[in-house]
Structure 1
Amino acid sequence: MRVKIACVGGGPASLYFSILMKLQDPSHDITVHERNPAGSTYGWGVTYWAGLLDKLREGDPASALAVSENSVSWSDGVAHVGTRTTVAPGDEGFGIGRRRMLDLLAERARSLGVRVEYESEITADRLPEADLVVAGDGVNSALRERHADHFGSEIGHGRNRYIWLGTTKVFDSFTFSFVETEHGWIWAYAYRFGDDRSTLVIECSPQTWTGLGLDSAGESEGLALLEELFAGLLGGHGLIGRAQADGAARWLTFRTLTNRTWHRGNLVLLGDAAHTTHYSIGAGTTLALEDAISLARALHEHADLETALTRYGRERRAELLPVQSAARHSAQWYENLPRYIGLPPAQMFALLGQRHSPLLPYVPPQLYYRIDRAAGRLETLRRFKRWLGPRVARGVQARARR
């Protein structure tokens, strides 16, 4: 049955959803509305893992091939803590420029007959006439905010400050760098997303941010200070504060968004308009694309729109629960960095890899490290750790409610 669909927001999720719907039925009338000009996007590179490529191949092999051919990969993780360095093998990860990914998906969508309209702003009080309106307009979604009470929107703010930057330094591994200053620790997550560019996300506590004067520094002054602090990491390369001539890098606190329900009538939330997860687990783009896959599948399996949208929201909220928990604990690990930063490098890096654990905050770090090492060898202890973790977390939550 021919359906008219309007996607508001031209991010990866909206574009991939439009691709999947056109592949289901070429007669669908689909328009993607993006308020910014073509080629204009925030951020630098995005990360993903091999599992996403498998899902993209299943949905649309052409999109998967284009994304894969334009990505770079790494397997090792490197942590610099002051003058100490630790290297550890890990799962293969991938990086691709956000702008490049958007261009590839938009090109594929247009080739299937999707209209991708740039500088096309849709306001919440004048929605397009369509059978289905997809709100893929990000964490600041105007379409969601108009009915925030219905969606049950809640936003939590992280404590630390962070800034999203680029650099011409090309990193061969996913790299962490922790630098101690007289005002506390400041650290960077760095990964390449092309042959000549990398992303650098820099984070610190609010006390370090103000102590270093980053709260009052202009962009050029702030970048100069960060280049000095991370000189050893950058190796003579500079930091780039803006991806577009009309944009500027800003220090932010991360906003974790949840919604009680994901649709209202024929309006449905997608990607960051529906949920966010802390950047330290590198899953934002993957989760948004999985939303698109889930929504397209629900619409294919259920002819009734209300049934399809209800099923989509219920399934995705359930699937996101463990991811959101992992992201919350990951963010808290960094917010409590002094608890771990003084450990021997190998132990610190091991617990960095375990930062998603609900048990870690409640066990002395060195004891947790010994348990984890033993659990890696003994299945009995591994089962014990899995059994104990959720129970400790529930016990803490119960005590918090008293």
Structure 2
Amino acid sequence: MRIVCVGGGPAGFYFAISAKLRHPGDEITVLERNPPGATYGWGVVYWDNLLDVFFGTDPRSARAIRARSALWQEQRISLGGSGVAHLTGYGFSVQRAELLRVLADRAAELDVRVVYQQEVDDLDPYADADLIVAADGANSRIRQDAGDLFGTSTTRGTNPYLWLGTDRFSDSFTFAFEPTPAGWIWCHAYPSNAGLSTFIVECAERTWQGLGFDARGDEETLRTLEKIFAGPLDGHALISQAQGQAEDRPHGQDGGGPARWQRFVDVTNQHWYHDNVVLIGDAAHTTHFTLGSGTALAIVDAAMLARILDEHANDVPSALREFDGRGHRALRPMQAAARTSMAWFERADQYLDQDAVSFAYAMAGRHGRQPPWRQPMHRATQVPAVRRTLRGLHSGTRWALARRRGEPLTPRVDTAPADLQ
């Protein structure tokens, strides 16, 4: 079978890897419009369920991804200088450039043909392909050129946000809300790899305009944000342009160079395929960054599509029908949760008159009504002794899950923050 993947991001590469492992004789080509190593953005967040997919699909690349990933523990929520609260739990993050490097190298090992700096403006040159996988992002040209065949709908969020990096490394997922004369502004920060962290800045439109970000240049914007977030940054710098910055940017932002303010674009499609063309990842669906699942869902799409093709013995029409149905059913609750999360942060100012612990509880429960026992449990987890106990339990859980999926085991050593030592 001849397969063409348009887009060399995580979705396109992982589908090529997954399909090639099942059918080594298939001819699979990945077409990427950027040069090798170029990407947009900083870190990618994921959880144990994605490690299960990685190790269940291709242990070789899974081990490389895990080795390059950082572990973060707890979510730390600060409200200016008025207090700090914590949410328990853990997750992983990996620098997007490192993830793509691993996947590109693995695809090459499996004899996937990768063509860089290849624009795909129409599909006529690939008319003899048995399957065309559109993994070319939220602004998918393949999807747009098809008119309304996929039933595409887009909704733009109202909050401006800026995807930056910082040379301050943190072992927690940090939300820092800072008051300004124009209103509240906040960051979502998490480690990307040793020595770097992702730092996403978000605020309401009126705050953005009130602080003059609609008129400030790139350097002035960074210096202003460094002053606003001086506490969370602890003297470290913000970085606008990731190494190997790509021309393509997610959710509507185009052009190379420093990061630009964006508004999130929620993309849905009634149909994920037409004839022999199928959408995966952000081309098919987007989920707001406050849910932290966009790349993970793209990887799941890729692995699922390859598995279903194999189950249908490469009967493309039957496989795409099943992929469309199963994918929509699986995604529906995730997209609903992501829209709820986006809407909550768009009116976060309404909740910021609370103390940090109460605000953190409201943020944690933004997806729906909470059972009565949840609030006293949340308050209990602010006690250092309880947090230490939970970190120990989570360490054991990670070790058990790693052993179950065949992940190379490492010593169960956790570095606790200063307030737990």
TM-score by length of 2: 0.84
User: What corresponds to 1:298 in structure 2?
Assistant: 308
Q: Does residue 312 of structure 1 match 2:314?
A: no
Of 256, 259, 273, the residue aligned with 2:269 is 259
Deviations 1:266-322 (A, max 9, x none): 111010000000000100010000000110111011132111001101111111111
Distance 1:141 1:135 in 2: 7
- Contact 1:50–1:92 (8 Å) recurs in 2: no
Seen in structure 2, the aligned counterparts of structure 1 residues 369 and 80 have a Cα distance that, compared at 3 Å, is: farther
Distance 2:90 2:125 in 1: 42
Distance 1:292 1:21 in 2: 9
Distance 1:219 1:323 in 2: 34
Q: Does residue 345 of structure 1 match 2:356?
A: yes
Report how far residue 85 of structure 1 moved: 3.5
Report how far residue 370 of structure 1 moved: 5.7
Deviations 1:15-70 (A, max 9, x none): 11111111101101011110100011100111001110011111111111111011
Q: Does residue 250 of structure 1 match 2:269?
A: no
Corresponding residue SS for 1:176 = strand
Of 361, 369, 375, the residue aligned with 1:373 is 375
Q: Does residue 47 of structure 1 match 2:65?
A: no
Which ranges of structure 2 fall in alignment gaps of 5 or more residues?
246-255, 380-421
Distance 2:316 2:133 in 1: 13
Seen in structure 2, the aligned counterparts of structure 1 residues 127 and 84 have a Cα distance that, compared at 3 Å, is: farther
User: What corresponds to 1:270 in structure 2?
Assistant: 280
Identity %: 44
User: What corresponds to 2:86 in structure 1?
Assistant: 88
Distance 2:111 2:351 in 1: 53
User: What corresponds to 2:136 in structure 1?
Assistant: 137
Deviations 1:304-353 (A, max 9, x none): 21110011011111111110111111111111112211122111111211
User: What corresponds to 1:226 in structure 2?
Assistant: 225
Q: Does residue 334 of structure 1 match 2:345?
A: yes
Distance 2:65 2:99 in 1: 7
- Contact 1:351–1:369 (8 Å) recurs in 2: no
User: What corresponds to 1:321 in structure 2?
Assistant: 332
Distance 2:281 2:74 in 1: 29
TM-score by length of 1: 0.88
Amino acid at match of 2:86: A
Report how far residue 146 of structure 1 moved: 1.1
Of 80, 99, 114, the residue aligned with 2:97 is 99
Aligned 1:61-80 pairs, distance under 5 A: 61-80=59-78
- Contact 2:361–2:378 (8 Å) recurs in 1: no
User: What corresponds to 1:21 in structure 2?
Assistant: 19
- Contact 1:161–1:205 (8 Å) recurs in 2: yes
Of 34, 37, 61, the residue aligned with 1:36 is 34
Distance 1:322 1:372 in 2: 22
- Contact 1:223–1:239 (8 Å) recurs in 2: yes
After superposition, the CA RMSD in angstroms is 1.7
- Contact 2:85–2:356 (8 Å) recurs in 1: no
User: What corresponds to 2:291 in structure 1?
Assistant: 281
Larger displacement relative to structure 2 (219-228 or 244-253): 244-253
Corresponding residue SS for 1:41 = coil
Distance 2:377 2:310 in 1: 44
Aligned 1:86-235 pairs, distance under 5 A: 86-128=84-126, 129-235=128-234
User: What corresponds to 2:397 in structure 1?
Assistant: none
Q: Does residue 354 of structure 1 match 2:365?
A: yes
Seen in structure 2, the aligned counterparts of structure 1 residues 321 and 155 have a Cα distance that, compared at 3 Å, is: same
Distance 1:269 1:171 in 2: 36
Distance 1:216 1:311 in 2: 49
Distance 2:349 2:6 in 1: 43
Corresponding residue SS for 2:83 = strand
Stretches (4+) displaced over 3 A: 368-372, 374-377
Seen in structure 2, the aligned counterparts of structure 1 residues 176 and 375 have a Cα distance that, compared at 3 Å, is: closer
Corresponding residue SS for 2:45 = strand
Which ranges of structure 1 fall in alignment gaps of 5 or more residues?
360-367, 378-402
Amino acid at match of 1:324: Q
Report how far residue 92 of structure 1 moved: 1.9
Higher relative contact order (CA 8 A, sep 6+): 2
Amino acid at match of 1:316: G
Corresponding residue SS for 1:190 = strand
Amino acid at match of 1:349: A
Report how far residue 125 of structure 1 moved: 4.7
Corresponding residue SS for 2:262 = coil
Distance 1:162 1:369 in 2: 32
Amino acid at match of 1:160: N
Larger displacement relative to structure 2 (346-355 or 206-215): 346-355
Report how far residue 122 of structure 1 moved: 1.5
Seen in structure 2, the aligned counterparts of structure 1 residues 176 and 7 have a Cα distance that, compared at 3 Å, is: same
Deviations 1:351-396 (A, max 9, x none): 2111122x4xxxxxxxx6967437999xxxxxxxxxxxxxxxxxxx
